[in-house]
Structure 1
Amino acid sequence: MERRLAAGERIAEVTRLRGGWTSEMRRLDVAGKDGSGRTLVLRSFVTPFYRLHADGLLSREAAILRLLADTGIPAATLLDVDPTAEACDDPSLLMSLLPGSVRLDDEGADRRADLLAAQLVRIHRVDVTPQARPRTWQPWTSPERVRLPERTARPELWRRAVDVIREEPPAHRSCFLHRDFHPGNVLFEGDDDGDGDGDDVRISGVVDWVETSWGPADLDVAHCSTALALLHGVPTAMDFADRYVAAGGELADDDAAHLYWRLLDALAFAPDAEKVAVPWRTLGRDDLTPALLTDRLERYLQALFARYA
């Protein structure tokens, strides 16, 4: 922070932010000598695994934030980055604070799903030169790494899903992907009446660009769909691809491709989606127990086969 503070500025307050699981987030309130102020966010990788990979992750996020600066995508403004912890205790990235808050409650979920779909279409339309393209997409699971639930009445369903992702990825047209787009990485504001479903609710920010990739739009749609299934249930998840297309997005033409991308993402959450459930619970979703999430994930697999197989 020292190299980013103007003359007379000081850090007046530091507040730990909730909701993340890959990094520690701090809100920094900066006060000026003349009474002015500004608010920044410091993202730090503190766990051994993410410290080990911090140079690549934070350097990539810094490059993406620079790229998005003039695109109209509501991303934070990059101020500085220390990916190897030369100046900081931990590898860190400094950025502007975006307005709004994460909303994970069931009330208003359909309205927010429409907004998510439209925002994702805009992200996929970000135009980048071949030289500025992010890395090629990578799968987050494989048939050998999938962990099946121990207490499932339908092991054959899970094995059938794993068999699908044994196939080679379908042919696809690539575009700019967020790669970790889901309700926990999107900020909303508006709707002063508080019911979560007003017409003035809008997306005010999209965060967490460390996994940004170049690949099929279906993969981003699949990832958000899985998150919606876990948060709000299968019907909301199954409708998301239709919302995306209605907003102007383009997906694969055949059902087999749809099924592949959706299962490739969903199986990365097996058996109980605990890695995302922990931060979601800190944001008020105490109902998302491992048993509930496993059940929703299984019902989602069943629905995918019913529609696309």
Structure 2
Amino acid sequence: MRPEDLRLIAETLGSPVTSVSTLAGGYSHETCLLELPDGRVVVRLGGAAPAVEAAVMAAARGTVPVPEVLHVLPSAMILEYVPGTTLTDAFTQPGQRALGEEVGRVVAEIATIAFARPGFFTDPALTIAPEAPWSAQLPEVAAACMSATDRLDPATRDAWLALCTAHAPALRAVDAQSFLVHADINPKNILVTRDGTGWRVDAVLDWEFSYSGCPYGDAANMARFGDGYPADFLTGFRTAFGSRHRGDWEYLGWVLDMFALSDLVTRPPGHAVADQAAERIRRLLGDQAAAPRAM
């Protein structure tokens, strides 16, 4: 955090800041914990549109656990501090099936918030610009991303584009859905606490990529790198999410996740999640029979 940022934040809060520590955050922003004489706050620096993200969080708050936004600055948000354990750290504890069920329940609740049309939020009023259907966008997005990355060899890029193009028509079934999608559901963005013999989700964090669309992509986002999670957690998550979303949600989420995988591999060298995404693309191409349609 730059000294000038710290000065502005202290002025906004009307309180001195006694210490600053960096928290785990996304690749487009810096997240810091600030100690004040009378408590703690969290500051998110960066991100594409803090005011839009704050508006989404306000819309979600009350339906799912979301930190309160205290102040929005031109390039930062000041949030209430929510204690809890990241889901990543909770994976080492017992009760993984129950943990997965609680997380799956909360992620499914996000989709109870509906909008007038699908698309991306353009301003703090959560105006949604008209978009081409996802089924039409997927081949175009995949083609643009494959032309913008050297992380995959040419044959792999061509094969991935062909796979995206082949599965894109399936999204016609969900093109018109217009529910809140978090779009970055992963273990570092969920805080949990043991609640007696079970678990409680304390906060869903980092809403900067959220949009209006099909919620199946959130479930696919959570499962994307699920090989590294406890198997009981994923079983519980799928059971709870699937109890709210019938039909071919797992396959359609898998197709929606092609957008994210295509985009991720365009990140600069040394981006760990982008490297994971590239490896997942290679694995999917090597085992196309493992697509969730059969699940």
Q: TM-score, normalised by structure 1?
A: 0.67
Partner of 1:283: none
Counterpart amino acid of 1:120?
V
Give 3-state SS (helix, strand or coil) of 1:80's partner.
Answer: strand
In structure 2, relative to structure 1, the CA distance for the partners of 1:245 and 1:189 (3 Å cut) is same
Counterpart amino acid of 1:261?
L
Counterpart amino acid of 1:60?
V
- RMSD of aligned alpha carbons: 4.1
Partner of 1:58: 50
Q: C-alpha distance in 1, partners of 2:23/2:237?
A: 29
Partner of 1:261: 256
Give 3-state SS (helix, strand or coil) of 2:144's partner.
Answer: coil
Give 3-state SS (helix, strand or coil) of 1:208's partner.
Answer: coil
Say if 2:245 is the partner of 1:249: yes
Partner of 1:282: none
Q: 1:157-306 counterparts in 2 under 5 A?
A: 158=160, 160-164=162-166, 167=169, 169-172=171-174, 173-190=177-194, 199-229=197-227, 231-232=228-229, 241-246=238-243, 248-250=244-246, 252=248, 257-270=252-265, 275=271, 277=273, 290=275, 294-300=278-284, 302=287, 305-306=290-291
Give 3-state SS (helix, strand or coil) of 2:83's partner.
Answer: coil
The one of 59, 78, 82 equivalent to 1:94 is: 78
Say if 2:87 is the partner of 1:103: yes
Partner of 1:122: 109
In structure 2, relative to structure 1, the CA distance for the partners of 1:158 and 1:120 (3 Å cut) is same
Partner of 1:75: 66
Give 3-state SS (helix, strand or coil) of 1:63's partner.
Answer: helix
Give 3-state SS (helix, strand or coil) of 1:15's partner.
Answer: strand
| 8 Å contact from structure 1 (residues 218, 258) kept in 2 | yes
Q: C-alpha distance in 1, partners of 2:231/2:270?
A: 18
Q: C-alpha distance in 2, partners of 1:144/1:98?
A: 39
The one of 14, 17, 34 equivalent to 1:11 is: 17
Q: C-alpha distance in 2, partners of 1:179/1:134?
A: 18
How far did residue 220 of structure 1 move? 1.7
Partner of 2:293: 308
Unaligned runs of 5+ in 2: 1-8, 118-123
How far did residue 76 of structure 1 move? 1.0
Please give the per-residue CA displacement for 1:125-177, whole angstroms capped at 9, x wherever unaligned: 13567896564688794233135864799888645423335658423222111
Unaligned runs of 5+ in 1: 32-36, 84-90, 192-197, 279-289
Q: C-alpha distance in 1, partners of 2:236/2:270?
A: 24
Q: C-alpha distance in 1, partners of 2:235/2:39?
A: 41
How far did residue 113 of structure 1 move? 3.0
| 8 Å contact from structure 1 (residues 26, 41) kept in 2 | yes
In structure 2, relative to structure 1, the CA distance for the partners of 1:242 and 1:297 (3 Å cut) is farther
Partner of 2:142: 142
How far did residue 14 of structure 1 move? 1.6
Higher helix share: 2
% of aligned pairs identical?
A: 17
In structure 2, relative to structure 1, the CA distance for the partners of 1:61 and 1:258 (3 Å cut) is closer
Q: C-alpha distance in 1, partners of 2:68/2:172?
A: 36
Q: C-alpha distance in 1, partners of 2:110/2:271?
A: 25
| 8 Å contact from structure 1 (residues 174, 216) kept in 2 | yes
Partner of 1:286: none
Counterpart amino acid of 1:76?
P
In structure 2, relative to structure 1, the CA distance for the partners of 1:305 and 1:22 (3 Å cut) is same
Q: C-alpha distance in 2, partners of 1:254/1:224?
A: 11
Q: C-alpha distance in 1, partners of 2:42/2:209?
A: 19
Q: C-alpha distance in 2, partners of 1:239/1:303?
A: 25
Q: C-alpha distance in 2, partners of 1:212/1:177?
A: 5
Counterpart amino acid of 2:216?
D
Give 3-state SS (helix, strand or coil) of 1:210's partner.
Answer: coil
Please give the per-residue CA displacement for 1:254-297, whole angstroms capped at 9, x wherever unaligned: 95x4553243344444489964539xxxxxxxxxxx4x765455
